[in-house]
Structure 1
């Protein structure tokens, strides 16, 4: 097995288990609330505490990875996930859950930027889109696996035992990362330009960083708004019963998986020099697909619009990751990604609540769909504005 294949495999496993540990509490929620007399509002606070920790850890995790390397962070991170996942089954108070889930969010957030640093370190510019896309297919396949397995564990053994069991995959992930990811950089696109010698404070003043951050904010707003409200939209606006919703809601994930592979193939193939335009086109088509989904007069067209949205959002993911790594200075690659991710996570935290408020205030999903389409338009514009920065970077590293 080649080094590149081993790295992709380790990163895929890491994302897959990352998702399983993250959503385990969602499947345990009903049992936890019944056993511990937690209200939905209290359980919502517990869920939100993860997001806060995850967002706060992005930049510190990036700085640690830039200083010590991606591998140590990607080994220690899953060990911490395992500890705090197991601890979730041992606490019984609201304060205890908030503290444990906050720490769990921090432990997962510390590893986020290292994922991209590992890709940047072990793949050249052309190959990064494909590597990121293949690795990220884990997040489209994990939802289908999570519901069946975690739900079964809760039903058979109870939620406390489920959390203890879910610590095991995280331990295996740490071992996989240790043995599969090389300790040193290979095949990285090295640069000796003056840009890479800048301090992190100077990096924070770069227009490319903030254009990418705005674009990521728009992308995450749509991704989290879409994921959070798609099932409810099908039930409330389209009248789909709960038995059917599971099948229909899984269709867009299949298209998302295909979109990742297509985007990685195009972004590392004949369109690798046109990645910004590939991302812009995918965003605009995704926004138009949202409008189609809302205006559709039949259920088939609505699901087709939602599936096209998922496909194009994920077509953009691999090429966008490659663009981000191309623009990041080698010295602060992970910290650069951490800043972009922090801004993106802020959108992820805000989107479900903002869309919910709009739907409640207007009595219609029109404003929510319209806002998501507008967010994608802004994300496309800011990505288009990055093309001069990419050209400059390409000339500097040539």
Structure 2
């Protein structure tokens, strides 16, 4: 009786753990997309061109990408409690540095430090979910954790646009740094390890080279490039696109930017129940993730290409909302796919390899977009390029997973 009660408490407490991860994921994306709200103001204050601004916007993704493999190995080998706490503290310091920045170089360094700090979060968090939830329960928790990133992108323009328009972008970053410290204290205080029943009885040896050499790992990486490229396109440039092309204030642009991001959040949430329903129909877990992923990424590509050709602002917002809905759905399916094609002891490392591809997309999205805008001023060309990259990534997923499974 006592054992059953303890088991029930453990099953209930896993939702506390999931809630903590959702808060951390949301704050992480508020932090990483904050610069998109203030990028024109920062460019004005430091006299930056679109190309220079694009390089600064990409500095986070460079650092994030380089740290993925080390972060994945750490997440597979060490306690998530202290790894996520350290992650939160580092990125809190990074945001405070942005808040006191007196040069573009300081912004670049602080953004890189933010990338280092945030690198372990989604890897360690996914590992935690696989420890608390079994394979048939995992789709919805992973979708919620993944969607917390989109929720952060919803809240960022709403909250930060208000702060930046009244007290300036320096204050915005200081507030975010303090918020990260609060979340870090909450995590270290409330986290506890999973019950013994949820931990594999015998730990398998860790083979990094074998994981790295598996074709499926690199299919995941190549496919995720397009998903994150699209997310970074909208996170970095959507507010400034609305300001520049539709001649509206930073505050109004921030509010309007939140609507497409909200649909990205809905798409991310929808992915989990969709996968779970397909799995419940005895569709193999890989197929349950794979087909929706390919379709969603193609649709995100198409709507991104069409968006800048809409004739009025409401149509643009609707088309971009559709694009981010499908992008959120693709992201959840891709992230869940990584957990079902990997062994339990290598989940974080496989996700890290996938995230290298995603981070590369995050690196090149602001640089390519900034370069196109600097040379041609053409948002249709910039968004068409993004759509083409996403379509190529969908093809990599569509053909590559099948080929990798046959090999």
TM over 0.5: yes
* Residue aligning to 1:264: 272
Change (3 A) 1:260 1:284: same
- CA drift at 1:338: 1.4
* Structure 1: distance between partners of 2:115 and 2:193: 26
Structure 1: gaps of 5 or more residues: 393-398
- CA drift at 1:212: 0.4
1:10-62 Cα offsets, whole Å, 9 max, x none, are: 1111012223333455666677778xx63325766554433332222211111
1:114-153 aligned at under 5 Å gives the runs 114-150=124-160, 153=163
- CA drift at 1:113: 1.7
- CA drift at 1:354: 1.8
Tell me which of 109, 116, 124 is aligned to 1:106.
116
* Residue aligning to 2:248: 242
* Residue aligning to 2:289: 275
* Structure 2: distance between partners of 1:151 and 1:94: 21
* Residue aligning to 1:395: none
- Normalising by the residue count of structure 2, what TM-score does the alignment of the two structures yield? 0.80
Asked if 2 retains the 8 angstrom alpha-carbon contact of 1:355 and 1:368, the reply is: yes
Q: Which moved more, 1:347-356 or 1:317-326?
A: 347-356
- Does 2:46 correspond to 1:38? yes
Q: Secondary structure at the match of 2:119?
A: helix
- CA drift at 1:81: 2.2
Q: Which moved more, 1:383-392 or 1:12-21?
A: 383-392
- Does 2:237 correspond to 1:222? no
- Does 2:193 correspond to 1:183? yes
* Residue aligning to 1:345: 359
Asked if 2 retains the 8 angstrom alpha-carbon contact of 1:53 and 1:105, the reply is: yes
- CA drift at 1:296: 4.1
* Residue aligning to 2:5: none
- Does 2:169 correspond to 1:169? no
Q: Secondary structure at the match of 1:242?
A: coil
Q: Secondary structure at the match of 2:213?
A: coil
Q: Which moved more, 1:116-125 or 1:161-170?
A: 161-170
User: How many residue pairs were aligned?
Assistant: 386
- CA drift at 1:91: 5.4
* Residue aligning to 2:333: 319
Tell me which of 68, 73, 84 is aligned to 2:83.
73
Asked if 2 retains the 8 angstrom alpha-carbon contact of 1:124 and 1:187, the reply is: no
Structure 2: gaps of 5 or more residues: 1-8
* Structure 1: distance between partners of 2:58 and 2:324: 24
Change (3 A) 1:367 1:25: closer
Asked if 2 retains the 8 angstrom alpha-carbon contact of 1:52 and 1:102, the reply is: yes
Change (3 A) 1:27 1:371: closer
Change (3 A) 1:50 1:96: same
* Residue aligning to 1:386: 401
* Structure 2: distance between partners of 1:299 and 1:96: 36
